[in-house]
Structure 1
C-alpha cells in the first residue's frame, strides 16, 4: 500500500511544471547609476566665473558627491557552527510473587516485568562563506546626515555564461581611504549579490525529480 502512495506522488510531481527563475539582466534601473547632467554651463562673456566649474591645487579626491565613483574592496568571511547531543535512558523493574495454598491445592506464582527505554540523538551544522575581490560603484544619493548611498554592478561574459556582482549599501565619507577605496566591512545595510546564469549555472540547479526526492513530501 505504501508503494502505491509513492507511485501516486511520483506521477503527480511529474505533472508539475517548473517555474523558471526570473532572468537577471544588466543595466536595470534598480542598479544603474543616477542620471546626472554632467555638462557645464556656458561662461558669460567678460566673466572669469563659471558656475559648476572648480579648479583647485589642493583637493580631496575621495567621493563625496552624487555621481562620484569609488572602489569597494570585498572582504567577506562568515563562519558558523552548531552541535547538539542528547542522550536519555530510563529503566524500570517490577516483580510480583505469591506463595501459599489456594483451595485444596498449593500454588506458587512468581512474575517479573522489566521496562527499558532510551534515546540517543546527535546533530551538527557548519557553514562557511568567503567572497573577495573588488567592484567600482557610484554614489547614488547623498543622505541628509552626510552618509552616501552607493550602488553598482559588474558583469563578466565568460565562455559558457555570465557572472555578475551587485552591491548596495550606505557608507561614511570618513571610512573612505585616501586612494578612494573602502572595505566592504564598512558598508551599512549591505546587499552583496554574486550569481551567474548560463550553461554552468543551469548545470548546478536541481531538476524537478531531485527537488521532489529531497523535499519533505517524499514519503521515505
Structure 2
C-alpha cells in the first residue's frame, strides 16, 4: 500500500469515528473492562488463622477485615482506597542577559628601511603607508525571558490495588468517568504506594504516590471543537515554516 493510500485510509477511519458521535453523547466505557475489576474478581488466596474452627466465624478477634480490631486500610490485591488530589502549584521564572563588545585595529608602516618612502611615489593617488589598514567592530546582544504558570486541581477518586510488589509496596489504579450532557470527563490515576502512607481513613495524598500518573481530560463535542482538524495537525508536522 502506498503512503498516500495509507494516509487516506487513516483519515477516513478517523472521520468515521467522529461521525459515530454525531447527535449522541460519548459512550461510557464498561467498568468490567478495566484492570481494577480483574484485581477485585481475582484476589489472592488469603485465609485467616483458625478459619477451620467453627467458632472463628463468630469471633470478634478474627483476622478478617470485618473484625473490630482489624486494619481497614487497603493492603492486598482487590482492596480499594481513596486518592486525594489537591494540586495548587505556582511558578514564576524571569531571566535576562546582555552582552556588549567593541574592538578596533589600526596598522601603519611609516618607516621600514626607507622602503615605504621609495614605494610611495608608485602608489595610486591618495594611497599611503601611513595608514595601511584600519578596522573596527562592535556587537550588542540582549535577551530576556519570563515564565508564569499556575495549576490548581482538587479531586478525589477511588483506586484499586491491582498488584503487590515484593518489597511490600502496592500498585494502584483508579478511573472515573463523569458525563454531563454531551461531554465526558475522564480521570485516571496510577502509581505505587506504601502501606504506611495510607492513613487511618484509608486515604492517601497524591504527593505520596511514587511514579504517579494523573490524567484529567475529556471527550465530546466541546473537546472535539477545541482540537485542530487532522489535516491541520498533519500540516503542522510536515511544513517546515
- TM tier, smaller: 0.5 to 0.7
> By percentage of residues, which structure has more strand?
1
1:102 aligned to 121, 135, 139, which one?
A: 121
Aligned to 1:204: 226
Q: In the TM superposition, what whole-angstrom CA distance separates every residue of 1:68-88 from its partner, at most 9, and x where no partner exists?
A: 211111123444444443322
CA distance in 1: counterparts of 2:221 and 2:231, whole angstroms: 19
With over 3 angstroms needed to count, the CA separation of the structure-2 counterparts of 1:106 and 1:205, relative to structure 1, is closer
Displacement of 1:59: 2.4
The counterpart of 2:184, out of the listed 162, 183, 187, is: 162
Name the CA distance, whole Å, in 2 between partners of 1:200 and 1:158: 11
Encode CA deviations 1:10-51: one digit per residue, 9 max, x unaligned.
Answer: xxxxx987695x99945443454514268xxxxxxx95556x
The Cα of 1:139 is off from its aligned counterpart by: 1.6
- Corresponding residue number in structure 2 for 1:70: 81
Residues 111-126 of structure 1 mapped to structure 2, 5 A cutoff:
113-126=135-148
The answer to whether the 8 A contact 2:81-2:203 is kept is: yes
TM normalised by structure 2 equals 0.62
Unaligned runs of at least 5 residues, structure 2: 1-6, 18-26, 44-52, 111-116
**Cα distance, 1:53 vs. partner?**
9.0
Normalized against structure 1, the TM-score is what? Answer: 0.67
Gaps of 5+ in 1: 1-14, 39-45
Count, aligned residues: 198
Q: Does 1:139 align with 2:158?
A: no
Note closer, same or farther for the CA distance 1:215–1:117 as it changes in structure 2 (3 Å cut).
farther
User: How many Å separate the matches in 1 of 2:72 and 2:217?
Assistant: 32
1:59 matched residue in structure 2: 70
Does structure 1 retain, via aligned residues, the 8 Å contact 2:85–2:154? yes
In structure 2, the CA distance between the partners of 1:32 and 1:113, relative to structure 1 (3 Å rule), is same
Is 2:34 aligned against 1:29? Answer: yes
Q: 1:177 aligns with which of 168, 186, 199?
A: 199
| Contact 2:74–2:161 (8 Å) recurs in 1 | yes
CA separation of 1:26 and 1:190: change in aligned 2, threshold 3 A: farther
Q: CA deviation at 1:217?
A: 3.8
Larger radius of gyration between Structure 1 and Structure 2: 2
Give, in angstroms, the shift of residue 209 of structure 1: 7.0
Structure with a larger share of its residues in helix: 2
